[in-house]
Chains A and B, each alone.
Chain A
């Protein structure tokens, strides 16, 4: 059943949509437009004048070895963050779904990390893995492992992935749990009577019925890993060592605000915008076909 509200005039609907439109215009359309505009110029070192370079910034970027490396880093980082955060969340949700007693407590506790801001989460993990005073580093040292994410590129990547995925698990867990609880119990029971053991039931019944949730989370998590992980990377590695954790959004910041190359930074954010739009379109166009609603 669909409830539709019909407005008589034109003014009320416009008035109701206006605040949202205003916010989107000021905080999205205006800066995005500015970025596109700035990407066509190179400002002088003092920011007093701008020189028209057309697509020069883009040409320079695409020829840049470091920029291309950042693409690869971003791909690795996003895939790892998405897979880790969704995989762990799904595992926890399946366990919590099976609980009869105390599921409320588990749910609450598992949701808490979501309330931690990415930068704070970053600092938290940084302290635990600090190369001199970190608790985990110390225990790893006892086990004979010399942890140093400041020097080791793989360890640095691992740490930012874990720190980024951690806060995200809560969010994904919530959605997966809701999705699992929306599956009628009798369908699972019917499968049990049909002879399917737990893993078979999960593979053939639960996971396909969960696919709308999974698809939604996939889109949201990839976008998250592209943008909102900035705080984590900034606090833990600042993009290092040797730019091993410089994902695209961090490079926008590093080149623009640290390197003061505003033209290149603007061009990078335009490319980033295009990539995310493209990814989302691809996801909706191709993956959604395989989703059972």
Chain B
């Protein structure tokens, strides 16, 4: 249990800057999700906290002590890797016990702690198996178990669910979150999946090109995106963006409206032609094209009217739901 503080943390590879100064205070027991597209530096940031990458400048503090110059093993952290990074030649038990054995923990205590973790993760019957004899979800659990038994101050997750199939991902998402609550451990979780970020995070960090565009609670970020990028990245289907011009307004601002805030109505000021629609069962996504070629998506209930392809419809929304962004992408 510990706090984690990043203070203006920067990273450069040679002359290329990849992290441009990120600051965040993580409270004890908080679950922070770092989300962003590939190449935004989120994994690099996590690896810097782990000590697998050096920090070019800025401070990383775990429980108030500066860990910049410490080896990974001295930072009191545990990490779950994307490919699990299990030791292929060791049994599940040995995988979990490895760190404890190196720390010369008494045999009885190792067995007790591994047994406890195995019970928590429903791995009791698999302890003598080798990783290659396990399914993807089980391997994932072993990787978590290896982290749990060491009782670290901070848990680090590097896209732990991206190698699992969609159904298992939803299940493991809930399990990881429940486990983190139960253990009360501080966690830093990296993902490119905005749904994972929305569902798991106490607070999320939306990263874009080495910069933290916004840090906040998921619903707050969703309702009040700080930048055009955040508005476009968080939410599925993404926010629609229109130029001020097409709405008959002056200036070079962009207007963002979420698909669920838009209505199809004949009275709408903006006209668009229905291109195609995706029926998902409970809802239907109608994709339209405005006169200037801008794509627009509207979320319709299954019960409501779905326009025929090619017909022209009007678009309408409550002005309170409009989000305005200036030319640099900032909210205005």
Contacts and interface: CB of A to CB of B under 8 A. Distances in A.
Interface residues on A, range: 10 to 19
Interface stretch (B98-106, B189-197, B251-259, B318-326): B98-106
Contacts of A292: 88-89
Nearest to A200: B102
A192 B88 contact: no
A186 B99 contact: no
Nearest to B94: A204
A154 interface: no
A188 to B, nearest CB: 8
A193 B79 contact: yes
B62 to A, nearest CB: 13
Nearest to A183: B88
Contact of B85 (A189, A196, A197, A209): A189
A191 B89 contact: no
Interface residues of B, number: 23
Interface in B119-175: 146, 150
B78 interface: yes
Nearest to B79: A193
Contacts of B78: 193
B246 interface: no
Interface string A201-239: 000110011000000000000000000000000000000
B22 interface: no
B146 A189 contact: no
A25 interface: no
Nearest to A208: B89
B81 interface: yes
A190 interface: yes
A187 B73 contact: no
Contact of B73 (A196, A204, A208, A209): A196
B76 to A, nearest CB: 10
Given A191-B98, A195-B99, A205 B87 contact: yes
A194 B99 contact: yes
B277 interface: no
Contact of A194 (B51, B83, B150): B150
B232 interface: no
Contacts of B102: 194-196, 200
A195 B100 CA distance: 9
Given A209-B88, A292-B88, A194 B81 contact: no
B146 A194 contact: yes
Contact of A192 (B52, B83, B103): B52
A144 interface: no
B85 A194 contact: no
Contacts of A184: 83, 85
A184 B85 CA distance: 8
Contacts of A186: 81-83, 85
6 contacts: A187-B86, A189-B72, A190-B86, A193-B99, A194-B98, A194-B102
Interface of B: 50-52, 71-73, 77-79, 81-83, 85-89, 98-99, 102-103, 146, 150
Interface of A: 184, 186-187, 189-197, 200, 204-205, 208-209, 292
Q: Report, nearest first, the 8 A-B pairs whose CB atoms are least far apart.
A: A194-B99, A186-B85, A292-B89, A190-B85, A195-B73, A195-B102, A186-B81, A193-B72
